Amino acid sequence: MTLPTIGFVGVGRMGFNMALRLHDCKYPITAVYDIDSETAQKLAEQTGATACSDLKSVTRLADIVFTVVTDDAAMRHIFYNEADNLLMEAEGKTFINCATLSPSIHEDLQNACHDAGAQSLEACMASSIPQARQGTLYLMVGGTQIVFTAIKELLECLSQSLRFVGPAGSASQVKALVNMVMNINTAALAEGLGLGQAMGLDLKMLREVFAQTGANSRVLETDAEDMVTREHDCYFSSEHAAKDTGIALTLADQAGIKLPLAKATFEQYEKLKSLGLGQLDKSAVAELTFPGRAGSSKD
Amino acid sequence: MTLPTIGFVGVGRMGFNMALRLHDCKYPITAVYDIDSETAQKLAEQTGATACSDLKSVTRLADIVFTVVTDDAAMRHIFYNEADNLLMEAEGKTFINCATLSPSIHEDLQNACHDAGAQSLEACMASSIPQARQGTLYLMVGGTQIVFTAIKELLECLSQSLRFVGPAGSASQVKALVNMVMNINTAALAEGLGLGQAMGLDLKMLREVFAQTGANSRVLETDAEDMVTREHDCYFSSEHAAKDTGIALTLADQAGIKLPLAKATFEQYEKLKSLGLGQLDKSAVAELTFPGRAGSSKD
């Protein structure tokens, strides 16, 4: 059986590593595109793909196109920009959209793909770069079962935990909720450790007690040490934390639900951005809660 | 070796069950006191203790007195009330103070005990009623190593996880932080599930995804189902959640640290109290975030 050819649009660290993983799995990577043409060129060299200078060439050169872009605006641009977009001559093609976006985008896109004779699937990732590289992403899929079944084998190369969630948009909804709760728990942990430091407690002891009690959480495992040592190399940026929490707040507004903790968390990550720290990992929220650190002294 | 005699002051559900556990372990329970004399009488009957009508009798009848009271004010009353208090004729006695209190209370009390020829220890519990009954409490101890060593065997009857944290007051500091982070994570989970419900997502699926991702937490295990089914039988009341989060906020104020998430959580639990729901379990914070529930429609 011939494997389908694969294109990538948006090759930030996630997209780059997903492409390398699919390359390892022998899928022919045939076309890559990024607004940063150097990055696209680098990935093209490592995979034997063509670095495309326009979007419609990606669709032409690949059977299945992964999109891993930054936000709603970028997503609209690559699919709807009049001069050049992925839906030009897209008949028979499949788009797998991996960015965390407002859920309604996926619904609209499914319709637009249908009109172009193409098909689409949302594949939301709740993991980070090492998992992308190793093919152990946690992938939540939204769309139609038919499309899902058709490309399941491909997705299994990227994911050990593949979960069909529901119609187009629902995976983004779940992803927004996962990230919202994760970001709140992260900001909460930063408050607990920051106050512990302010009171002169042994933070190693405090982390152990947290781990053994009702304060335990996944982010305690992933972020606590980084908060203490101020190691904020980026796995999931504070900018993304602000964006995703903002998506959840918009959904809550639409549903008439008040989320005061999500709001407080959004404001913390916006504050980090305003301090020029938005590129740091989400653990950097501790810079706002530990005594004596830059963010804690400013209002 | 003769086991020391034990008194209990404050026999709410925690104190009651701790006393039963020590009774199982063959410690002679000799004196109990509660402002609710019926409860004290009931415990006295089950353990063969005397139900005392004044505090100083508890001290007279027991070598070691556990105090498990509600708050700072109750604690000051039992130790400093002029007409009748536990420190009258307290020479040689030991007080083990289990309530979650402002840390400074424990420091003051250690000094007052010293002046009375007695000794004290704080023993903060980060567990609930079943653990009290079974002797599997998570106990964090603050005070002097000498007193801790002297009564370690007794405490081991109540706890499988006994941890000496530091000087008087430090266990309360750690406990305040544990509960603060736990309460924030609880309120966060209520927001995630509430918004999920509002968007029509399958909450069973959502909880599974939370458990497998960065949204995972101990409170997801303990509180998520109760939030969905509105089963708010009290293990840890919303009133207590408000109180403990308030203690943490006061400590943060004193330390000059801003904790916006703790503040938002405090306000949620205060809102529950104002709706007359303070006696419900902390999981009841979901009543404020699920669509169509009483608390979600009021400001």
Interface probe, candidates B129, B159, B185, chain A, greatest A C-beta count within 10 A = B185
Beta partners for residue B162, in sequence order: B139
Q: Which residues contact B183 (CB under 8 A, 6 or more apart)?
A: B241, B244, B245, B262, B265, B269, B282
The rounded distance, in Å, linking the Cα atoms of B50 and B95 is 18
* Residues 6 or more apart in contact with residue B264 via CB below 8 angstroms: A260, A261, A263, A264, B187
Phi, psi (degrees; rounded to nearest 5) at A82: -65, -40
| Whether the Cβ atoms of residue A239 and residue A278 lie closer than 8 Å to each other | yes
Supply the pLDDT for residue B251. Answer: 93
DSSP symbol at B5: P
Residue with tokens 């770069």: A129
Residue range A32-75, pLDDT digits in tens: 999 999 999 999 999 999 999 999 999 999 999 999 998 899 99
Alpha-carbon dihedral A216, A272, B206, B178, rounded to 10 degrees: 20
Q: Is A101 helix (H, G, I), strand (E, B) or coil?
A: coil
- What local confidence, expressed as pLDDT, does residue A128 receive? 82
pLDDT averaged over every residue in chain B: 94
Chain B residues touching A218 at Cβ < 8 A? 213-217
pLDDT score, position A65: 98
Q: Which residues pair with A163 in a beta bridge?
A: A140
What burial class does residue A253 get, using C-beta atoms within 10 Å of its C-beta: 0-12 exposed, 13-18 middle, 19+ buried?
Answer: exposed
Tell me the residue type at B229: T
Amino acid at A91: E
Three-class DSSP labels, A263-284: HHHHHHHHHHHHCCCCCCEHHH
Could you tell me which chain B residue has the CA closest to the CA of A177? B192
Q: 10 Å Cβ neighbour count for B299?
A: 4
The average confidence (pLDDT) of chain A is 94
Residue B266 structure tokens: 């405090």
Residue B152, pLDDT > 80, answer yes
Name the residue among A165, A213, A265 with its Cβ closest to that of B261: A265
Between chains, do A268 and B258 touch, taking CB under 8 Å as contact?
A: no
3-state secondary structure of B233: coil
- Per the DSSP assignment, residues forming a β-bridge with A33 are A9
Helix-, strand-, coil-residue percentages of chain A, each rounded to 5:
55, 15, 30
Q: How confident is the model over A241-248, as a mean pLDDT?
A: 93
pLDDT band at A234 (very low <50, low <70, confident <90, very high): confident
Q: Which of A214, A267, A289 sits opposite B257 (nearest CB)?
A: A289
**CB atoms closer than 10 angstroms to residue A254:** 12
User: In B, which residues are within 8 Å of A138 by CB distance?
Assistant: 212-213
Does the beta-carbon distance from A205 to B257 stay under 8 Å? Answer: no
Lowest mean pLDDT among A291-295, B57-61, B64-68, B142-146: A291-295
Q: What is the pTM of this model?
A: 0.86
For residue A15, give the nearest of A168, A158, A183 by alpha carbon. Answer: A158
How far apart CA A130 and CA B55 sit, in angstroms, is: 62
For A218, the closest of B205, B216, B262 (CB atoms) is B216
Q: A85-89: long-range contacts at Cβ-Cβ below 8 A with a sequence spacing of 24 or more?
A: A85/A55, A85/A56, A86/A9, A86/A55, A86/A56, A86/A58, A86/A59, A87/A59, A87/A112, A87/A113, A87/A116, A87/A118, A88/A55, A88/A56, A88/A59, A89/A56, A89/A59, A89/A60
Residue B127 contacts residue B178 (beta carbons within 8 Å): no
pLDDT tens for residues B15-50?
A: 999 999 999 999 999 999 999 999 999 999 999 999
With an 8 Å Cβ cutoff, are B126 and A209 in contact?
A: yes
Cα separation, A169 vs A247, whole angstroms: 13
CB-based burial, B175-213: b 16+ in 10 Å, e otherwise? bbbbbbbbbbbbbbbbbbbbbbbbbebebebbbebbebb
For A18-52, the DSSP string reads HHHHHHHTT--EEEEE-SSHHHHHHHHHHHT-EE-
Q: CB B177 to CB A187 under 8 A? A: no
Q: Which of A181, A199, A258 sits opposite B173 (nearest CB)?
A: A199
User: Looking at beta carbons, which residues of chain A come within 8 Å of B124?
Assistant: none
Contact A86, A65 (CB under 8 A): yes
Report residue B297's pLDDT band, with 50, 70 and 90 as the boundaries. low
Which residue, B172, B141, B176, B119, is CA-closest to B4?
B119
Whether residue B285 is predicted with pLDDT greater than 70 in this model: the reply is yes
User: CB-CB: which of B138, B174, B196 is closest to A201?
Assistant: B174
Mean pLDDT of A212-232: 96
ipTM value: 0.87
Per-residue model confidence as pLDDT tens digits over A134-176: 999 999 999 999 999 999 999 999 998 899 999 999 999 999 9
Instruction: Give the CA diameter of chain B.
Output: 64
A to B CB pairs, distance under 8 Å: 220
Overall average pLDDT of the A72-81 stretch: 96
* Cβ–Cβ gap A210/B178 under 8 Å: yes
How high is the pLDDT of residue B298? 44
In angstroms, the separation between the Cα of residue B298 and the nearest Cα of chain A is: 10
Closest in A166, A215, A264 to B178, CB measured: A215
Q: What is the C-alpha separation between B269 and B179, in angstroms, rounded?
A: 13
Least confident among A104-118, A119-133, B81-95, B111-125? A119-133
Instruction: Name the band, by pLDDT with cuts 50, 70 and 90, for residue B101.
Output: confident
Q: Name the residue of chain A whose CA is nearest to B219's CA.
A: A214
> For residue A297, what pLDDT is reported?
56
Q: Which of A261, A265, A293 to substitute to test the interface with B, most B CBs within 10 Å?
A: A261
The confidence score (pLDDT) of residue B299 equals: 46
Question: Which token pair is A3?
Answer: 């494997």
Q: Are B268 and B186 in contact (CB under 8 A)?
A: no
DSSP structure string for B132-150: HHHT-EEEEEES-HHHHHH
- How far is the alpha carbon of B241 from chain A, nearest alpha carbon, in Å? 12
pLDDT given for residue B93 in this prediction: 98
Instruction: With beta carbons under 8 A apart, name residues in chain A contacting B258.
Output: 288-289, 296
Question: Cβ of B213 and A215 within 8 Å?
Answer: no
CB B11 within 8 A of CB B19: yes
Measured between CA atoms, the residue of chain B closest to residue A290 is B257
How many Cα atoms are found within 13 Å in the side-chain-facing hemisphere of B98?
28
d(CA A169, CA A186): 25
Question: Lowest mean pLDDT: which of A137-146, A289-298, B2-11, B211-220?
Answer: A289-298
| Domains of chain B by start residue, with CATH | 6-166 (3.40.50.720), 173-297 (1.10.1040.10)
Please report the pLDDT score of residue A296 as a whole number. 67
Nearest to B260 among A166, A214, A268 (CB): A268
Q: Residue B127: how many CB atoms within 10 A of its CB?
A: 21
Q: What is the pLDDT of residues B184-236, one digit of tens each?
A: 999 999 999 999 999 999 999 999 999 999 999 999 999 999 999 999 997 88
Residue A224's identity, in one-letter code, is: A
β-bridge partners, B120: B95
| Distance, C-alpha B268 to centroid of its chain | 20
